[in-house]
Structure 1
Amino acid sequence: MNYQNLSPQLRRSIWPVAGLLVLLLTNVLIAPEFFSIEIKDGRLYGSLIDVLNRAAPVALLAIGMTLVIATGGVDLSVGSVMAIAGAVSAGLIVSGVDSVFLVIGGGLLAGLAAGFVNGFLVGYFGIQPIVATLILMVAGRGVAQLINSGQIVTFHHEGFEFLGVGYLFGLPFPIILVIITFVLVQLLMRRTALGLFVEGVGANASASHYIGINDKLIKLMVYCLSGLCAALAGMIAAADIGGSDANNAGLWLELDAILAVVIGGASLMGGRFSLFLSIIGALIIQALTITIILSGVPPKFNLLIKAAAIIVILLLQSPEFRRQLGRIKQWRRA
């Protein structure tokens, strides 16, 4: 099959998926038991399950970040929103709220409010996305610290902790939550006109406005969705450790989320996007982390190896880089 004859969408899918497969196969060479999965008490255990489970928060962030980037924006505040949502939920629990629906609803409402602020600043005030979201990135952790009174708040609530450590259908619940979120957002984007509006605003906001698309409202909606996804990720992180740490919850995960979207082939200029490939990007980041750990490389080299591997993946995705490689091959043949 000729690569050039493939559809553009399929061509964009090949390299991220190939990169993930290479990383997984590398792990098999390092640790032959990597793909082995055991069933204990109706639950699945294994390194592959751990990769999926640990990638869940970044995958959720990547779903929301994909939509924001598709409109030509960026959301640097998602890590801080994770901290805020975790702090709100923890605060409700320690204050005596027993209903898991109210606890989760409080965290989601906090994420929605944060997304609304970002979307309003970007869409209706025309502030550059990197500046508007940087404000909440800095201030958000301060808000979370105020909610926690500057302390690490610990709690015990079986219903809420199920978000982070529970199992459903044999899988860790964070994986199930990512699947549910992906399906719902994918249906919203591809089974309604909203997905076309998002791509249209990202490709040319002015032209979209003149043909009747409310570009300001679209931007507000995607930032609100990003806030909701960040809130889910924050509650998973809080439920996993049974506490809220405003200083460290979601720290620098916004960069991993942006990187996952870029690895998935989305353009930072806006326009086309793929939620599925963004999740593949999140899995690549987590699989790479596991690969470095299994290989026994000293920790001081971890970030350098991670950066180098990601650069290689991005270069392989670049059409210009592949054209240059083709020219070099032709020159050698000549």
Structure 2
Amino acid sequence: MSNYLDRFRTAAQKAGTQATTFASQASRQLSEQAKIAQAGFSLPKECQRAATILQGFLADPSHPDTALNAIPKAVLNNAKGLAVFSVAKAGFLWSGKVGSGVVVARLEDGSWSAPSCIATGGVGFGFQIGADISEFVVVMNSHDAVRSFALAGNLQIGGSLSASAGPIGTGGAIQSALAHPAPMFSYSRSKGLFAGISLEGTLLVERKDANRDFYGQVIPAADLLGGKVPAPEAASALYEVVEAAEAIDETGLPEQAFVPQAPDMGGQAAAADTGAYDLGGNGGGGAAAASAVPAGAAPTSTAGAAGKKQATVFDADAAEQEKQ
């Protein structure tokens, strides 16, 4: 009996040592990956990545069937803000979520604000094995969502500012869904071993360091998203993708949609033109570059965007007073 207990203790100790070694190696690997990701982070790179990510969620007029699994034109036209980011996951029984991207907001004239860099975080548990990179687009339908991020520099998805699965497709059902949309719509893509993607509890945090490095000074997210900073050329690819999607001609696309149920959302916000920052080289360029409208899409212009419903999203000065 004594020999059996000794062998059991030895085996248990060996298993414990192996588990500790595995955890230590995994921790070191994740730490190194985080350092590499941080070193490669910059606003221009994130804007380019965001443009590529967003393009993957949009319909291609030359392939009509893609509209059945794409963010509708009407959703983007109605958006008060956009958060576009990618999230890396890695776990064995434990899964962590760390990512990066950008947030932009709709301005009074219908154009898009200067981007604010963000980091994302969240933790999930479950019997999951694998590694994955997921891509997300969060469409902010409410003024409160934009205001919450702009005032605090962070936004936690959940509770009164929940994100529901966004509608996809085309047709009248999409317009009906936008009459009383959820505060935020979420869209996700993933090609890994993890099953199911939830944004509940995910935190979007302003990357003040990355914003400072690019803009050359500390600028609050409220000012970036409130129109006090000119739209930088570095974000032109992202603006072009959004504007082309807002102008797409849906007449040749199949009229079919999937619209999840969403809670009612009310509330409005006023906006006003405010003073601007002098950014030197990085901030120049004024409005975003002209849209690269794909074949089959109707032409548009930023000036004509003022006619979009509820285009105004944020009053930077009023937000600053509210913060104080």
Q: Whose radius of gyration is greater, 1 or 2? A: 2
Please identify which structure carries the higher helix content: 1
Q: Shorter chain as normaliser: what TM range?
A: under 0.3
More strand by share: 2
Structure ranking higher on relative contact order (CA contacts 8 Å, 6+ apart): 1
